[in-house]
Amino acid sequence: MKSKTAKPLFLSASRIDTFLSCSQKYAARYLLKLPDAGNDGSRRGSTCHDVLELLQKPRHFKRFRDAITHDNCREVPALWRLIRRFAKKYGVDDPTNLALIDEFIMVGLKHGFRGPKGTKKLEVEREFTIEVNRGGRRYNVRGFIDRVSHVSDEKGLWLECADYKSSVGKMEAPDDTIQSQVYQLALRHLYPEIKRRTFHYLFLRFPKVPVQEVTPMSDDQLDGLEWYLTTIQETMEKFTLANQGDNLMAFNGDQGNIRKHCGREGVKKDGSPAHICSARMPMDYWVIVDGDGELVEGAFTEQALAPKLKKGQKTDKRRYNGCAAYFNKEGKPRNFN
């Protein structure tokens, strides 16, 4: 009988961010496959990303040009139908959300959407998968870069890369984000012959100054990042459900003084749901289990998973007892008084 071979663990910017910020949320999302309903902000972002990706295709160039002419998407019927279709898919097709989505997409279209002057090639949602195991460095990382422009000037070829953000605020230190660092490392692996590489964030909520530049990393800095990813890889591979209480965001490093910055129950003044961490509250949910007993994906209902089942897989109902900062092992609320 063949022994079961563990599937390789692949890092990503979001996975690393989650791991470093909260062990409970990491365990819930990546080990227990707890589903996340998201919120209007994340769903608007998904809508914008999907639409902007499609508009980069040559067959949609007229829609892009017409939107620029009208200075909005709503007056371009074919484009507006496309936007509403995606907005409906993500559950943000109400007038308020559609108005914001219109504004956000226009910011994306007006700021380098077709690449800077001299662009010879444009790649959208550039996928990368990097597996390194040499000289003591060992890590696996994958992801997508929203836009990569191959640009030619008097000095030769260089790369301009952008990532769309729909968040409510800009970053205090964009150079320090693991996303910007991992993406720059990916560019070095994907295009080793191109030495000039730039990366910036494009914040769709800020029409006047949406661009936030990232300082290019040197080769020495990228080499150092590889050693850091090696450490992260080793640490994550050892992480189990027994470690989910090791680094709880709720405590912010001090388990004697719980911090309620994981969100709150209830609604905002406008009647919309208040933000609350997807891993905070107890819930019943469903998962897909493969032939080796590994969890593949989670959802709130069994019906949502049925179309995704493959041969040898099954669905199973699970109980999540909530975040250890707020609930005990039986799922009963802790008393902080």
Sheet with 211-214: list strands edge to edge: 119-134, 137-153, 156-165, 197-203, 211-214
Find the DSSP H helices in 3-134: 13-21, 23-26, 40-55, 61-70, 77-90, 95-110
> What does each C-alpha distance from 106 to 35, 76, 155, 162, 185 come to in angstroms?
31, 12, 32, 16, 30
**Domain assignment of residue 141, yes or no:** yes
**Domain assignment of residue 155, yes or no:** yes
Instruction: Residue 185: name the closest of 131, 136, 225 by CA.
Output: 225
Residue 176 sits in the same domain as residue 99: no
* Digit-coded pLDDT (tens) for 66-85: 999 999 999 999 999 999 99
Strand pairing partners for 214?
199
**Domain assignment of residue 19, yes or no:** no
Residue 78 sits in the same domain as residue 142: no
Q: Among 204, 238, 272, identify where a domain stops.
A: 238
Residue 123 sits in the same domain as residue 233: yes
User: Which residue range is the domain that position 156 belongs to?
Assistant: 119-238
Residue 89 sits in the same domain as residue 176: no
Residue 130 sits in the same domain as residue 64: no
Local structure of residue 30 (DSSP, 8 states) = I
Residue 106 sits in the same domain as residue 195: no
Total count of domains within the chain: 2
Residue 163 sits in the same domain as residue 226: yes
Residue 160's H or E segment, with its range, is strand 156-165
Residue 124 sits in the same domain as residue 234: yes
Whole-prediction pTM: 0.89
**Domain assignment of residue 163, yes or no:** yes
Q: Among 110, 132, 167, identify where a domain stops.
A: 110
Compute the half-sphere exposure of residue 35: CA atoms within 13 Å on the CB side of its CA.
Answer: 18
Contact 219, 238 (CB under 8 A): no
**Domain assignment of residue 323, yes or no:** no
The token pair that represents 169 in the structure block: 């605020």
**Domain assignment of residue 311, yes or no:** no
Tens of pLDDT along the chain (337 residues)?
Answer: 344 566 899 999 999 999 999 999 999 999 999 999 888 899 999 999 999 999 999 899 999 999 999 999 999 999 999 999 999 999 999 999 999 999 999 999 999 999 999 999 999 999 999 999 999 999 999 999 999 999 999 999 999 999 999 998 999 999 999 999 999 999 999 999 999 999 999 999 999 999 999 999 999 999 999 999 999 999 999 999 999 999 998 887 555 566 666 877 777 776 666 778 999 999 999 999 999 999 999 999 999 999 999 999 999 999 999 999 999 988 899 876 5
Residue 135 sits in the same domain as residue 216: yes
Amino acid at 59: R
